[in-house]
Structure 1
Amino acid sequence: MTRRQDGVWVGFDLGGTKMLASVFDSSFEVIGRSRRSTLNSVSPKKNLKRIAKTIDGALDEAGLDRTAIRGIGIGCPGPVDMTSGLVHEAINLGWRDVPVGEWLTEKMNCPVQVVNDVDAGVYGEFRFGSAQDSRCVVGIFPGTGIGGGCIYEGRILRGHGITCMEIGHFPIDPGAPARGNGRCHTLEHVSSRLSIAAASAQAAYRGHAPHLAEHVGTEVSTIRSGALRKAIESGDTVIQEIVREAAEWIGVAAAGLVHLLAPDTIVLGGGLVEAMPDLFCDAVSGSCHKNLLESYRDTYRVVTADLGDDASVLGAAAWAETEIVNNTTQAA
């Protein structure tokens, strides 16, 4: 077995439907991997035990045991306290104030770093993907919701005791009627895959998207990113306009971030972007550029993510390495 001082880094991506563990050597090459479904409507402890078993499965594939682990990085949905390892809230898991870092540290007997899952993905792109060598990176990942993250001078940008960059909850379109709870509409209401699917289902029902209606139907839950792409390729121009408008609203939000943070790189990722990279990138870029002060219009680039599903596990493991090695060096 590999000794801990020569050991491996584990990256973990915890999602609402699946969980993925990857074991990386010192060069961050994958040497073991394990995937399981995430349990629904169960106590946090049951999924925490499942996380440990998934990590053990990845170690088994690598021919190692827990003593080889130098550290674990885990990306979790929702706001996180990166210092204590507490997950404040993960709505899709039904979690509130779950001490993930404390539990895993005790269970696995090694240092653990807990980060937001999108922060982990953006950090992965910063270290190994399309945002390398950037001073400031902003990541926007539209999916069921819309996640965001920022790496500033090599560090994950965060608040005091809580992660930040909840881009999906940016208030947007102030001209729209307020919702029943008095809050403004948010970016997720106009640009998430769920909102795009709802508008597309309505178009199909009205006969404006014949390919989508015939091959997928009008149920929102069945309209996935790939189905939207195929509908556009088959001539459903209204679907293309729905997607473009959603992406343009993301561009409006991106313009606000450029004015606030002056990033040199904006990374777009997630299933929608992977399915329609050119459409998304062009629409976000154009809308962002149009809504900027002139001085900012040539200060950044918009790119698509390179790492796909590996971004979060790779970024989480790399962040764990950065923090644990730095802490060890400072302690010495």
Structure 2
Amino acid sequence: MAKKGYEKKYWVGVDLGGTKLLGIVFDKDFESQGQERIKTKAQGGKQAGVERMIALIRAAMEKANLKPEQLLGIGVGCPGPLALDTGVILEMPNLGWKNTPVREGLEKAFNCPVAVLNDVDAGIYGEWRFGAAMDARCAIGVFPGTGIGGGCVYQGDVILGKNGSCMEIGHIPVVENGPLCGCGQRGCLEAVASRLAISAAVAVAAYRGEAPHLLSAAGTDLSNIRSALLAASIKAGDTAVEKIVRDAARRIGWACAGVVNLLAPDIIVLGGGLVEALPKLFQQEVEKAARDRVMPAYRESFRVVPAKLGDDATALGAAAWAGHVLRRSVRK
């Protein structure tokens, strides 16, 4: 219970990314009240990661001039497969964490309900509630970043698998005997089309002298090749970089075609920093590739659009999902 003098009426949404942690405090209308952003520092291990989330939430609450006792609940969007009944991240290949007890750690720290869901599930739920996919019957989210995540909202609920999250579109095999993926398989979509894969390919192009603008701006260090730099490089005329990015977007479109054939969505929302930096390129390439590969009956049945909520989508969606889950549990 809240301490005397404090009314519980705020939510926190957390976006656990491969490189950054973002925490945002929202009021009952899901208007932002304050936020904090820190580096994930995955090398510290899973327990240190949970402790960083706790510190992040406390800092965001302080910026909003609020006390933890005023929290209604916390939503956390995480990459990788999850055990939703326990709030455990089963595996995060790009961070090296396994069996991470997120819900348990946060509930102990803040004494309020915690809902954990896949980060792209959170992102597409946010877009369905507040952004590009509002009121769609079936909305698919595809968010290329460090990896490539997928999610689906169907008639107002996130589609889940038997034991937890699903829609791992980044691990659809698209290249036979292709590059090794973080999951241990070869030829997965994210092994050839994520920002990390794109950065590796353009670094090679820069080394060969095929991307002079990118080489002068960042060299060949992968840590310097970010989404904004890729966009600037293309704008400056690095045609090799543009080809690499378009090829990656086309492969994402092929994977989306399979999802369309299975689920017949109204809309596919493309999100994440890479799409935010190059929205027109990704929208055009993904849509064309998807339409070319779907069954004729579905060719004109869906739209492909960039996300509207930007960097806040996952945190906002996670907070809103926590509210949805809490209301549903009260009704039961």
Q: What TM-score do you get using the length of structure 1 for normalisation?
A: 0.92
Tell me the equivalent position of 2:158. 156
Q: Cα offset for 1:207? A: 2.4
Deviations 1:162-204 (A, max 9, x none): 2111111100134x56869995411112211122222222222
Whether 1:68 aligns to 2:70 is yes
Tell me the equivalent position of 1:55. 57
Aligned match of 2:44 in 42, 45, 64? 42
Deviations 1:66-112 (A, max 9, x none): 22111111112211111221111123443211221122222211111
Which is worse superposed, 35-44 or 101-110? 35-44
Deviations 1:208-261 (A, max 9, x none): 222223333233332222222112111122221111111111110000000011
Gaps of 5+ in 1: none
Query: Percent identity over the alignment?
Result: 50
Q: Report the number of matched residues.
A: 327
**Matched residue of 2:329: which SS?**
helix
Aligned match of 2:24 in 8, 14, 22? 22
Tell me the equivalent position of 1:256. 258
Whether 1:270 aligns to 2:265 is no
Alpha-carbon contact 2:148-2:194 (below 8 Å) kept: yes
- List structure 1 segments (4+ residues) > 4 angstroms apart after TM superposition: 176-184
Alpha-carbon contact 2:84-2:116 (below 8 Å) kept: yes
**Matched residue of 2:314: which SS?**
helix
Which is worse superposed, 197-206 or 76-85? 197-206
Which is worse superposed, 250-259 or 39-48? 39-48
Tell me the equivalent position of 1:307. 309
Deviations 1:136-171 (A, max 9, x none): 111111112111111111111111222111111100
Tell me the equivalent position of 2:323. 321
Whether 1:171 aligns to 2:199 is no
Alpha-carbon contact 2:180-2:191 (below 8 Å) kept: no
Tell me the equivalent position of 2:242. 240
Whether 1:189 aligns to 2:181 is no
Q: What TM-score do you get using the length of structure 2 for normalisation?
A: 0.92
Measured in 2, the distance between the counterparts of 1:213 and 1:58 equals 38
Report the RMSD for the aligned CA atoms in angstroms: 2.0
Are residues 107 and 246 of structure 1, via their aligned partners in 2, closer, same or farther at CA, if it must alter by over 3 Å? Answer: same
Are residues 129 and 159 of structure 1, via their aligned partners in 2, closer, same or farther at CA, if it must alter by over 3 Å? Answer: same
Alpha-carbon contact 2:126-2:314 (below 8 Å) kept: yes
Q: Which residue identity lines up with residue 266 of structure 2 in the other structure?
A: D
**Matched residue of 1:41: which SS?**
helix
Measured in 1, the distance between the counterparts of 2:279 and 2:68 equals 39
**Matched residue of 2:44: which SS?**
coil
**Matched residue of 1:309: which SS?**
helix
Alpha-carbon contact 1:244-1:283 (below 8 Å) kept: yes
Q: Cα offset for 1:314? A: 0.3
Alpha-carbon contact 1:172-1:184 (below 8 Å) kept: no
Measured in 2, the distance between the counterparts of 1:84 and 1:141 equals 25
Measured in 2, the distance between the counterparts of 1:182 and 1:33 equals 35
Tell me the equivalent position of 1:3. 7
Are residues 27 and 179 of structure 1, via their aligned partners in 2, closer, same or farther at CA, if it must alter by over 3 Å? Answer: closer
Q: Which residue identity lines up with residue 294 of structure 1 in the other structure?
A: P
**Matched residue of 2:326: which SS?**
helix
Are residues 21 and 194 of structure 1, via their aligned partners in 2, closer, same or farther at CA, if it must alter by over 3 Å? Answer: closer
Q: Cα offset for 1:26? A: 0.9
Q: Which residue identity lines up with residue 195 of structure 1 in the other structure?
A: A
Q: Cα offset for 1:325? A: 1.0
Measured in 2, the distance between the counterparts of 1:291 and 1:281 equals 16
Q: Which residue identity lines up with residue 62 of structure 1 in the other structure?
A: A
Which is worse superposed, 161-170 or 201-210? 201-210
Alpha-carbon contact 1:266-1:303 (below 8 Å) kept: yes
Tell me the equivalent position of 1:285. 287
Q: Where in structure 2 are the equivalents of 1:209-228 lying within 5 Å?
A: 209-228=211-230
Measured in 1, the distance between the counterparts of 2:292 and 2:318 equals 34
Alpha-carbon contact 1:248-1:284 (below 8 Å) kept: yes
Measured in 2, the distance between the counterparts of 1:86 and 1:15 equals 16
Which is worse superposed, 70-79 or 313-322? 70-79
**Matched residue of 1:239: which SS?**
helix
